[in-house]
Chains A and B, each alone.
Chain A
Amino acid sequence: MASPSPKSPEQSEKTKQYDRQLRLWGDHGQTALEHGHICLINANALGTEILKSIVLPGVGAITIVDDKIVSDEDIGSNFFLECSSKSLNRGAEALRLLLELNPAVRGHAVQEPPDQILKENPEFFKSFSVVIATALGEKTIQELAQHLWDINVPLILCRSVGFLGSFRIQMREHAVIETHPDNEQTDLRLDVPFQALSDYLNCFDIDAVDLKDHGHIPWIVIIYKAVQKWQSQNANGWPMSRKEKNEIKNIILEFVRKDENDVPISEENFEEAIRAVNTALVPTFLPVKIQELLYCTSATNLSKDSAPFWVMCAALRGFVEGEGKGKLPVKGVLPDMTASTDHYIKLQNLYRTQAAMDAEIVYRKVLQIVAQLHCENISEADVKLFCRHAHDLYLLCGSNIVTEYQLNSSVATFISRHLEEPDVMMVHYIMLRAAEMFQSEHCRAPGDWDPEGDISKLKACVTKVLSDVSCSPFPKDDHIHEMCRYGGAEIHSVSAFLGGCTAQEAIKLITKQYKPVNNTFIFDAASTNSATFAF
């Protein structure tokens, strides 16, 4: 019996353990994650649920800041505390049980209140990739947010109260090269074929090939030929309207071979061609969002400290204005289509070669900029990746939580517009803010032990928030009643839901892949509805 080759070197213990997630963010995403260091402030159930889904996939390190002592209520809602944790430091206990999940993760517990760290050792926060904070008071939130804004460390602020929860991401800006769009646009350039492509397409003669090969012609060729035929009757225009696209489809139908009884022979590639007409004929253009990106100040005013992303944007702008003739580099990706291996691979290689040539030009421009400005070196592989995803680059410009908390005029207008709609998810936001205000005024959650008695006090807070955004009080008190019913309770399953979502946001920030929430997520587990607001 054959005894084939030894175990593949590709499969280390670690790649096996992380296999299912490596298929989502790749080895480079994993490496980035393993260099990440997350700081959590307050290890309540929400906090530990977030860390759980960051520790499991293998973040580099976690630091928990928590000066509280474990209570019975904590044990009842937090999986990462046990009965013997009672009366011990909450952060240290949670850390111990969280680290059991993954021996590769390092951890630290700091038993000081965050206010004190902010006052005495603000440098502490500098080294973190992301700071995540739960269950903070209004005052600390603003001090922490301002400090992290100043030192440019991302902050995710989370809350879980009864059936309600939210998180808010604060960061100055966040650039994503690999956004992983669900439906990526193809980039075939049939309207502006590069030389090698037009040479190839032009030497094809659909009518000359025998029947077997006829069924193996890639639909790209079929559509191109149909357009050429159409153009000869339409002053070399480009089919744009539905009517014109239907004319193309009819030309394709004419291409289909007929049997001896003049019945069209069913050929898969021609059917694919007809289905592909609408998307394949979208003209090649520079997406507006990418254009804005290439001409924004960060990309036009480079300095020695410019991030690689902006250096590459500047080089890309040079390409678009020069060699690219207004277009982005070719993606170099060919969707699968019915075709013979030969035709398909030839065509695929044409696109790949052009993509490599385009990327090479961008890379040379990057080298020039780096040499001129003495900025950080950028590898050729990084530039290739950047060019491959140039159509889908994404930049998120953040806002400061402090301006949101101070409800300045633009924030107020934004809120009141949603309240007028009326958008019940914005009502939830107001309730969360009002409950926070109540907490700082009365040193307890609304309804903590007297739900009926706190209704009027909470109502006063709601009215205050609403008047700050120039809105009249809510016509009904039902949301106020519900918030007092919650009495500040942390419900495990609500925290677990938010924990999962928040953890992934932190991973997105660290790996710089996939688009994060911009910038506030509100969840109502009572109705199972959510909303995203950009404050």
Chain B
Amino acid sequence: MASGETHSVENQQRRWLNLRKLLERSGPFSHPDFEPSAEILDFIMDSCKVLIVGAGGLGCELLKDLALMGFKKLHVVDMDTIELSNLNRQFLFRKNDIGLSKAKCAVEFVNKRVPGCEAVAHHCSIQDLDEGFYRQFHIVVCGLDSIVARRWLNGMLMSLLQYNDDRSLDQSSVIPFVDGGTEGFKGNARVILPGMSACIECTLDLYPPQKTFPLCTIANTPRLPEHCIEYVKVLQWAKENPWGSSTPIDGDDPQHVTWVFEKAQDRAIKHGISNVTYRLTQGVLKNIIPAVASTNAAIAACCATEVFKLASSCCTNMNNYMVMNIADGVYTYTFNAERKPDCVACSNTTRVVELEPDATLQTIYDKLCEDPAFMMKSPGITTVINGRNKTLYMSSIKSIEERTRDNFKKENNRIGFIQWR
């Protein structure tokens, strides 16, 4: 019998004594709604469902932190499997676990270590899960390394918002969203109340632009070792197809990396460029972002504290965005990231887009995808004709996609777009 099951109620009470002090006592800085009681811990343990998105550097920490903050109804979603280079920080995994699902492995470990924890793993991508899945959670906390995935999740939580007839927000449809991110010794943590405070889309400009090299530099005037590697990656590989024409570069295949490394080195030598190394080659090929245990631990802990505050009201939440840098001393700065009044994701306001009368639906679709003001990923397009909603295009559901595909070629005035918002 597992030792957890033999734990008496009294032991349980003692075990959570640290948390109970915060939850069963009032404090001058707690949330105005806070009423200390033993029931809050019951809610955290038995009712409060929290979704952890990502079981990597931040996700492992979040799962451990939340399990030790009393949460039992935890769900973890991650599509990745464990790699050797994860082990310097993703502390729930061992060498024997390489190749296994991160979500499953992490959940198994924590459920075993923290008796009573009932975490559930979902080894799939966030896009595989539908509205019904996301709607069941009280809080979503996210530790992803991709802006695209974050924006998708943001969009999902925004789409769950309901508005009353007077266009005011139905508060019960709000699922608080805590988001953390790290890069080397830098990190950030934030609290998003969808429809109420700044969301991911409101603050997109806080993400640094991705570093890219112009093609003409790579092809004609290489100066840096990175330029030589990019040349092999972008041009030479496709030309020489060392593993056959259908084989793309795999940054995890040591033979591929070595091939690129050696060709890049040849090019570098030819141009008098130094310092093409294997490590750099792999870094450029895989766009590797440095990562260390400490930063992930601190940022995840910060997110976990905010989840605990949201669930218990025992303290007011961070308002609402913290940045941290531990390269030069330890620096943190917390500020109020402001909402964009006309944010496409969270503002429930209309945006005017001007189009030629003979523009096709394709034009609208492309604009929504490519215009920096929207940058949508596979948007659905609907219109209202005679007071009824009509779907013009939707890519996410196969049958609808097939049915509406032909609309793309049609001009807007022919598919009922006499006026549209």
Q: At the interface, yes or no: B17 with Cβ under 8 Å from chain A?
A: yes
Q: At the interface, yes or no: B318 with Cβ under 8 Å from chain A?
A: yes
Interface pairs A-B: 5 shortest CB-CB: A500-B297, A500-B298, A496-B301, A76-B15, A497-B301
Contacts of B308 in A (CB 8 A): 493
Contacts of B288 in A (CB 8 A): 19-20, 23
User: In the complex, which of the residues B242, B292, B332 contacts A4, with contact meaning CB atoms closer than 8 Å?
Assistant: B242
User: In the complex, which of the residues A20, A491, A517 contacts B89, with contact meaning CB atoms closer than 8 Å?
Assistant: A20
Which B residues lie at the A interface, using CB under 8 A? 2-4, 7, 11, 14-19, 21-22, 25-29, 61, 64-65, 68-69, 84-85, 87-89, 91, 94, 113-115, 184-185, 189, 217, 221-224, 242-244, 254-255, 257-259, 261-262, 271-273, 277-279, 282-283, 288-302, 304-306, 308, 315-316, 318, 322, 325-332, 334
- Let me know if B271 and A500 touch, CB within 8 A: no
- Let me know if B22 and A501 touch, CB within 8 A: no
- State how many angstroms separate the Cβ of A104 from the closest Cβ of chain B: 11
Q: At the interface, yes or no: A494 with Cβ under 8 Å from chain B?
A: yes
- Let me know if A7 and B113 touch, CB within 8 A: no
Contacts of A481 in B (CB 8 A): 27-28
- Let me know if A528 and B334 touch, CB within 8 A: yes
- Let me know if B11 and A72 touch, CB within 8 A: yes
- Let me know if A5 and B305 touch, CB within 8 A: no
- Let me know if A528 and B322 touch, CB within 8 A: yes
Contacts of B305 in A (CB 8 A): 163, 491, 493-494, 497, 525, 528
Q: At the interface, yes or no: A216 with Cβ under 8 Å from chain B?
A: yes
- Let me know if B84 and A500 touch, CB within 8 A: no
- Let me know if A345 and B271 touch, CB within 8 A: yes
- Let me know if A497 and B298 touch, CB within 8 A: yes
Contacts of B326 in A (CB 8 A): 501, 504
Q: For B66, give the chain A residue with the smallest CB separation.
A: A493
- Let me know if B25 and A487 touch, CB within 8 A: yes
- State how many angstroms separate the Cβ of A69 from the closest Cβ of chain B: 14
Instruction: List 24 interface pairs A-B (beta carbons < 8 Å), by A numbering.
Output: A1-B242, A4-B258, A8-B254, A11-B278, A17-B87, A19-B88, A19-B288, A21-B290, A21-B291, A45-B68, A52-B293, A52-B297, A71-B14, A73-B15, A76-B18, A79-B113, A100-B94, A162-B22, A341-B222, A341-B273, A485-B25, A492-B69, A527-B318, A527-B334
Best-buried of A15, A78, A490, A501 by chain B (most CB within 10 Å): A501
User: In the complex, which of the residues A6, A10, A491, A518 contacts B19, with contact meaning CB atoms closer than 8 Å?
Assistant: A491
Contacts of A486 in B (CB 8 A): 21-22
- Interface stretch of the complex, out of A53-61, A148-156, A227-235, A311-319: A53-61
Contacts of B330 in A (CB 8 A): 501, 504-505, 517, 521, 530, 532
Contacts of B322 in A (CB 8 A): 528
- State how many angstroms separate the Cβ of A406 from the closest Cβ of chain B: 25
With A56-B293, A83-B3 as contacts: A482 and B17 at CB distance below 8 Å: no
- Let me know if A451 and B25 touch, CB within 8 A: yes
- Let me know if B259 and A4 touch, CB within 8 A: yes
Q: At the interface, yes or no: A270 with Cβ under 8 Å from chain B?
A: no
Q: For A507, give the chain B residue with the smallest CB separation.
A: B294
- Let me know if B29 and A20 touch, CB within 8 A: no
With A4-B259, A8-B254, A22-B279 as contacts: A496 and B61 at CB distance below 8 Å: yes
Q: At the interface, yes or no: A377 with Cβ under 8 Å from chain B?
A: no
Q: For A218, give the chain B residue with the smallest CB separation.
A: B223
Q: What is the bound-complex CA distance between A382 and B246, given in angstroms? A: 48
Q: What is the bound-complex CA distance between A491 and B68, given in angstroms? A: 9
- Let me know if A8 and B261 touch, CB within 8 A: yes
- State how many angstroms separate the Cβ of B241 from the closest Cβ of chain A: 9
Contacts of A52 in B (CB 8 A): 91, 293, 297
User: In the complex, which of the residues A494, A514, A529 contacts B328, with contact meaning CB atoms closer than 8 Å?
Assistant: A514
Q: For B15, give the chain A residue with the smallest CB separation.
A: A76
Q: What is the bound-complex CA distance between A479 and B271, given in angstroms? A: 65
Q: What is the bound-complex CA distance between A516 and B331, given in angstroms? A: 11
Contacts of A73 in B (CB 8 A): 14-15, 17-18
Contacts of A57 in B (CB 8 A): 88-89, 292-293
